[in-house]
């Protein structure tokens, strides 16, 4: 059930990284009356947020120092590390009253390191990757996959209701990220397999419209629905790029390098081929056409 927002105790929110997901989150916090401080490496992406009422911070450190809850929503370990550890990073501005949240899809090696660093400093940290794509971020209907202190999570659940429909708690810090990597891995494998099924259907002369519509129903599921919709028309603007799912899949492989995971290896190769061909900026469902 979606938590109700307590508008009598609105906090100041920092959003560090205002790409597709971060900008949607910031706009929804603004919509619910929160004070929102934003920072992005490319400041031109801040313009619509500033127009909507957000305040630009010169550095992640300044954004963190002004805020009760700090969301970091950058794309990779390298960008995340820079905004947390950099000379003007989040950890230089956060206080023990702050709630620190890593919401990008990142490697568990980095999340475990960051969690340990925050713990050493006596800071409250959550890994809280997101699922719901562009529509969820813009509509405030994200699902949040959380690792961290459960009791402290309860204290900000009413605030999280401004951006989400569901908050799923997986355990100690790092648990949410571990689940997110598995989720993205499975979705990518499914979408790639859907494309192969349609390739065979076309080759044997079946009606592709009928095949796609029926597969949505049986076996069905959100991934099938998305794959079929985007097979017919790749979305513009995109929801999630091929280059970023490749990054996530490579992080997923790091979870257990000694296990034999042939499906994961194969889908990594498919996306490597797409990126090598110069199509890394296309929507990740382009793999259905590979």
CB 183 within 8 A of CB 189: no
Q: Spell out a b/e string for 195-226, using b for 16 or more CB atoms within 10 Å of the CB, else e.
A: beebeebeeeeeeeeebbeebbeeeeeebbeb
User: Which domains occur in the chain, in start order?
Assistant: 7-172 (3.40.50.720), 179-289 (1.10.1040.10)
Three-state secondary-structure class, residue 216: helix
Distance (Å, whole) CA 149 – CA 286: 38
180 and 129 Cβ atoms separated by less than 8 Å: yes
Q: Give the span between the Cα atoms of 222 and 209, in whole angstroms.
A: 18
For the chain, give the number of residues: 290
Q: Quick one: which of 3, 8, 16, 39 has its CA closest to 142?
A: 3
Instruction: Say how far apart CA 109 and CA 228 lie, in whole Å.
Output: 34
pLDDT at position 1? 38
φ/ψ of residue 166, rounded to 5? -135, 140
C-alpha–C-alpha distance, residues 63 and 70, integer Å: 8
Calpha distance 237→46 (Å, rounded) = 18
pLDDT tens digits in sequence order for the chain, 290 residues long: 355 655 556 899 999 999 999 999 999 999 999 999 999 999 999 999 999 999 999 999 999 999 999 999 999 999 999 999 999 999 999 999 999 999 999 999 999 999 999 999 999 999 999 999 999 999 999 999 999 999 999 999 999 999 999 999 999 999 999 999 999 999 999 999 999 999 999 999 999 999 999 999 988 888 899 999 999 998 999 999 999 999 999 999 999 888 899 999 999 999 999 999 999 999 999 999 87
On whether the CB atoms of residues 16 and 72 are closer than 8 A, the answer is: yes
Residue 2 has what pLDDT? 52
E-assigned strand segments in 4-127: 12-16, 35-39, 55-56, 69-72, 99-102, 124-127
Q: How many CB atoms lie within 10 A of CB 106?
A: 27
Secondary structure class of 70 (helix, strand, coil): strand
């Amino acid at each position: 059930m979606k938590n109700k927002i307590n508008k009598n105790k609105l906090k100041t929110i920092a959003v560090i990284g205002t790409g597709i997901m971060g900008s949607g989150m910031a706009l929804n916090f603004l919509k619910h009356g929160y004070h929102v401080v934003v920072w992005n490496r490319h400041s031109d992406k801040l313009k619509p947020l500033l127009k909507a009422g957000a305040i630009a911070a010169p550095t992640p450190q300044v954004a963190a120092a002004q805020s009760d809850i700090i969301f970091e929503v950058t794309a990779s370990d390298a960008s995340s590390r820079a905004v947390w550890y950099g000379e003007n990073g989040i950890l230089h501005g956060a206080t023990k009253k702050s709630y620190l949240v890593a919401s990008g899809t990142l490697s568990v090696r980095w999340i475990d390191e960051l969690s340990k660093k925050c713990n050493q400093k006596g800071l409250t940290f959550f890994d809280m990757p997101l699922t719901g794509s562009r529509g969820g971020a813009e509509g405030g209907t994200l699902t949040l996959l959380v690792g961290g202190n459960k009791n402290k999570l309860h204290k900000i659940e009413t605030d999280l209701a401004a951006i989400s429909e569901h908050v799923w708690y997986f355990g100690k810090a790092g648990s949410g990220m571990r689940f997110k990597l598995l989720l993205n891995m499975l979705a990518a494998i499914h979408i790639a397999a859907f494309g192969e099924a349609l390739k065979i259907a076309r080759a044997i002369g079946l009606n592709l419209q009928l095949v796609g519509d029926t597969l949505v129903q049986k076996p069905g599921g959100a991934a099938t629905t998305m794959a079929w919709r985007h097979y017919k028309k790749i979305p513009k603007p995109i929801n999630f790029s091929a280059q970023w799912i490749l990054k996530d899949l490579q992080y997923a492989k790091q979870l257990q390098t000694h296990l034999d995971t042939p499906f994961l290896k194969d889908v990594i190769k498919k996306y490597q081929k797409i990126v090598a061909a110069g199509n890394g900026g296309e929507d990740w469902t382009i793999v259905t056409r590979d």
